[in-house]
Amino acid sequence: MRVDELEEEALKLDPRSRARLAERLLASLEDPSATENERVWADEAVRRDAEIERNPGAERLFDEALRDIRGKLRRGGPD
């Protein structure tokens, strides 16, 4: 189902159901699941390990890596 079709169907719901759906959708963007969080951290660890193997001078500060990971979580996953 396309997004515009889904949106059209959602707008047919009663106001209470639309509000509940909106809350769940927003929560899914704001607070990633534990599984998604673990997956992003694991992907980042593998990527950084490979980068350091290729270029030992490529290490990054923890704060930089954390900022990048949080950005990926907000965007919905790795680039």
The total of structural domains in the chain comes to 2
- The Cα-based distances of 15 to 18, 21, 24, 41, 68 in angstroms read 5, 10, 14, 38, 37
Could you say which DSSP state residue 16 is in? H
Same domain, 24 and 37: no
- Are 37 and 2 in the same domain? no
Q: What is the mean pLDDT of the chain?
A: 83
- For the whole model, what pTM was predicted? 0.40
DSSP letter (8 states) at residue 77: S
Residue 20 and residue 9 in contact, taking contact as beta carbons nearer than 8 Å: no
Say yes or no: 27 and 42 in one domain.
Answer: no
Contact call for residues 18 and 11 (beta carbons, < 8 A)? yes
Round the CA-based radius of gyration of the chain to a whole number and report it: 18
Domain holding 19, by residue range, is: 1-31
Q: What's the pLDDT tens digit per position in 12-30?
A: 999 899 899 988 888 777 7
